[in-house]
Amino acid sequence: MTQTNDVQPKQADEETRAAVLRSALLLCHERGFVNVTLEAIAEGAGVAEDVIAGLWPSKAAVVIEAFSSAIGNRFTSIDTGDFEADLRGQLTAIARIFGDPNISPHLRQVIGEAQHDETVMPAFLELVFGPNRTAAHTLFVNAQRNGQVRKDVDLDAAIDLVFAPFWFRLLLHTGPTDDEYAAAITDLALAGLR
């Protein structure tokens, strides 16, 4: 009995969470992130708004978790020991995610909203930026350790250098992010301009 009581509330919680995330994702596709409200997410999920407010700190946190779950393992950092291949793989994955018309318009709106709504960036940093940054950092540290990245490289600037171009094109709308772009950025970042 004790075991069953422990498990059932968790399952119910998981089902509620999943329904809320599905509702958030659907609403973003229908009306865009800026026009999504907690009330509408609650209605779509068939739960009370209070329940959502108890599980997430903000609308942004719900939506960002919904997109993170949807992207899932499309952006998993793999560390095979071949830095060039791993970097190329990661940049190709990010180029494809940012080039996906089911993702990029929503990601743009989330980051856009973050420029004047202070509840957005903490959720983004915790759920998206933080974990990916940590994984990238491990990859770069290992590459530095085994001589595939120079010892004197400032890793924080180096990680910015390889990922920033994709954000730049996503947010300034100045060009596509595709496999060709990922290849060009990988080559340039490894070899330098000179």
Cβ 128 to a second copy shortest distance, Å: 10
Cβ 73 to a second copy shortest distance, Å: 23
Residue 66 in 3-state DSSP? Answer: helix
Cβ 170 to a second copy shortest distance, Å: 9
CB 85 within 8 A of CB 25: no
x-marked contacts with a second copy along 162-181 as a string, rule CB under 8 A: xxxx-xxx-xxxxx-----x
Is 141 a binding residue for a second copy by CB under 8 A? The answer is no
Is 114 a binding residue for a second copy by CB under 8 A? The answer is yes
**Alpha helices (H) in the chain, listed in sequence order:** 2-31, 38-45, 49-55, 59-71, 83-98, 104-114, 120-124, 130-145, 155-172, 179-191
Is 99 a binding residue for a second copy by CB under 8 A? The answer is no
Smaller CB separation from a second copy, 75 or 167: 167
Is 115 a binding residue for a second copy by CB under 8 A? The answer is yes
Note the maximum CA span of the chain.
Answer: 70
The residue among 189, 45, 51, 60 whose CA lies nearest residue 119 is 60
Is 154 a binding residue for a second copy by CB under 8 A? The answer is yes
Concatenating the DSSP letter of every residue in 146-187 gives: TTSS-TT--HHHHHHHHHHHHHHHHHH--S--SHHHHHHHHH
Is 67 a binding residue for a second copy by CB under 8 A? The answer is no
Cβ 176 to a second copy shortest distance, Å: 11
Binding residues vs a second copy (CB under 8 A): 32, 34, 108-109, 111-116, 121, 124-125, 129, 148-150, 153-154, 156-158, 160-165, 167-169, 171-175, 181, 184-185, 188-194
